[in-house]
Amino acid sequence: MSTAPPPPANPLRDPRDRRLPRIAGPAGLVIFGVTGDLAKRKLLPAIYDLANRGLLPPSFALTGFARRDWSTADFAQIVHDAVREHARTEFSERTWAQLASGFRFVQGEFDDDAAFDELARTVAALDTERGTGGNHAFYLSVPPRSFPLVLNQLKRSGLSEPAPETWRRVVIEKPFGHNLESARELDAVVSQVFPEDSVFRIDHYLGKETVQNILAMRFANQLFEPVWNNHYVDHVQITMAEDIGIGSRAGYYDGIGAARDVIQNHLLQLLALTAMEEPFSFDADALRREKEKVLSAVRLGDDLATTTARGQYAAGWQGGEHVRGYLQEDGIAPGSTTETYAAMRLEVESRRWAGVPFYLRAGKRLGRRVTEIAVVFKRAPHLPFDLGHSGELGQNALVFRVQPDEGVTIRFGAKVPGTAMEVRDVTMDFGYGNAFTENSPEAYERLILDVLLGDPPLFPHQREVELSWRILDPVIEFWDSGGSPEPYRPGSWGPTSADEMLARDGRRWRLP
Ligand code: BG6
């Protein structure tokens, strides 16, 4: 007798089949901080794009909560402008009319009980008028100091409490604290209001197609895994370079800096995905467990003076334009020692990775916008050529190009045509633009949809947040204990101390 499990009743509807488009069920989304930059540039356009792709149910409702004295029509106008300016997909009157019929706006301050009671009535009315089914997500796109207030209001007004067979979820944007201790304090507040499985922490890098592709490349193929270890890999470089300065974000950025802003979350997540073992499934628990193992095994160098580097952009010319230095940007404290560039050398203490340095760097006002993970391989143990011909031969590398030119590059040596045996570096490229007709969705489209579906694999667990702070805290304490970031030229690749950090190991940063 066969012991195989019976096939699903309708194979076309097997929920395990992740190839099927996943469409959210009846639900509403409430956004706090709807007038902020993130909402306008990313969240509202992403909601429209999801609707336009047919991934939101017709009953979907969007409620804005803000201090402004707006009517629902004013709110709709703001969403409309944001969508017109930033949406990825074409504007469709039909999509818009359907979506806009589910807009609501509630005016109030975060400490105003009456406003939250009004929000509770609005949400309840949506269930009966529009069919949101009692399912609601609350998106906190607000400064972290407001988290406790909003969360407590959600609890007091009963909004965080689901009725049987319905759900309530909360979405929080980083920063998840500014060190391990404050991350725990924040979590204590969150967990008093929502159970862990209803908390969705956004790290938008995990929503990027190319980031998810790291797992596909590694675990859907046989080609790479055999060489993915310290026998073959020399080192790994993870780069997140931006050409922009801090713009109008002084209030958020000053005192935070590059390490807390993007290394604690985005870059350490990229490291975890690159270094982790194969999870036994892509379920949240399995995936997170493997990432946690890697993060637990990450070690800093003994001497942080030589294994970390920090910089701050000075004034100068970039792209034919004279730009202000960080200290001259509006709203920056005089003499601020906040770093706009951070680099560090980490190791992963495991059998697979022992002895392989992972170099991380992130900075603003660098040469160009590029995020990539370069796995650089050891040199061939022997070259049967005249060194004169192959002296320029670099190391093999596999580069995940996260953005902007999404794809994967493999670099290796090939014979130059001709009678001589000359070998030179060449590259083999996979580009999303050439290989697929579909455009990559924005990270926030994927993540908002996953919140509505209650699908958590792409959201870091609190344990990952804490493990990441455990890695970073000593670096930040060391930097805070003295000295200041080294100034670097806008449009350059950062401070010389970062180059020296690699030079000490006999290596160089890649020129991405
Ligand atoms: C955010 C950081 O998380 O990521 C910003 O707070 C940074 O400082 C941004 O500019 C970059 O995101 P992306 O998707 O453009 O790489």
pLDDT tens for each residue of 182-222: 999 999 999 999 999 999 999 999 999 999 999 999 999 99
Whether residue 173 has its Cβ less than 6 Å from ligand 1: no
Angle 399-175-109 from CA coordinates, rounded to 5°: 140
pLDDT tens, position by position, 271-323: 999 999 999 998 999 999 999 999 999 999 999 999 999 999 999 999 899 99
pLDDT tens, position by position, 328-386: 999 999 999 999 999 999 999 999 999 999 999 999 999 999 999 999 999 998 887 76
- Pocket test of ligand 1: the residue of 204, 270, 442 to mutate, having most ligand atoms within 8 Å of its CB, is 204
Residue 400 CB burial class (10 angstroms; 0-12, 13-18, ≥19)? buried
For atom 9 of ligand 1, which residue has the closest CA? 262
Whether residue 82 has its Cβ less than 6 Å from ligand 1: no
Q: Which residue has the tokens 């949809």?
A: 449
Whether residue 406 has its Cβ less than 6 Å from ligand 1: no
Largest CA distance in the chain: 84
For residue 54, report the distance from its CA to the centre of ligand 1, in Å.
28
Q: What is the mean pLDDT of residues 92-115?
A: 97
d(CA 512, CA 509) in angstroms, rounded, equals 9
What's at 258, amino acid-wise?
A
Q: What is the mean pLDDT of residues 478-506?
A: 97
DSSP 70: -
Whether residue 442 has its Cβ less than 6 Å from ligand 1: no
Q: Are strands 199-202 and 168-173 parallel, antiparallel or unpaired?
A: parallel
440 has a pLDDT exceeding 70: yes
d(CA 498, CA 311) in angstroms, rounded, equals 9
173 has a pLDDT exceeding 60: yes
For residue 370, report the distance from its CA to the centre of ligand 1, in Å.
11
Provide the phi-psi class of 195: left if phi over 0, else alpha when psi is between -120 and 50, else beta.
beta
pLDDT of residue 151: 97
Q: Are strands 341-348 and 357-363 parallel, antiparallel or unpaired?
A: antiparallel
For residue 275, report the distance from its CA to the centre of ligand 1, in Å.
23
- Pocket test of ligand 1: the residue of 43, 201, 209, 242 to mutate, having most ligand atoms within 8 Å of its CB, is 242
For residue 281, report the distance from its CA to the centre of ligand 1, in Å.
29
d(CA 207, CA 456) in angstroms, rounded, equals 11
pLDDT band at residue 144 using 50, 70 and 90 as cut-offs: confident
Q: What is the mean pLDDT of the chain?
A: 93
Beta strands in 149-290, from DSSP E residues, in sequence order = 168-173, 199-202, 233-241
Q: What is the mean pLDDT of residues 437-460?
A: 93
The pTM is what? 0.94
Residues designated catalytic: 266
Whether residue 242 has its Cβ less than 6 Å from ligand 1: yes
pLDDT of residue 1: 43
391 has a pLDDT exceeding 80: no
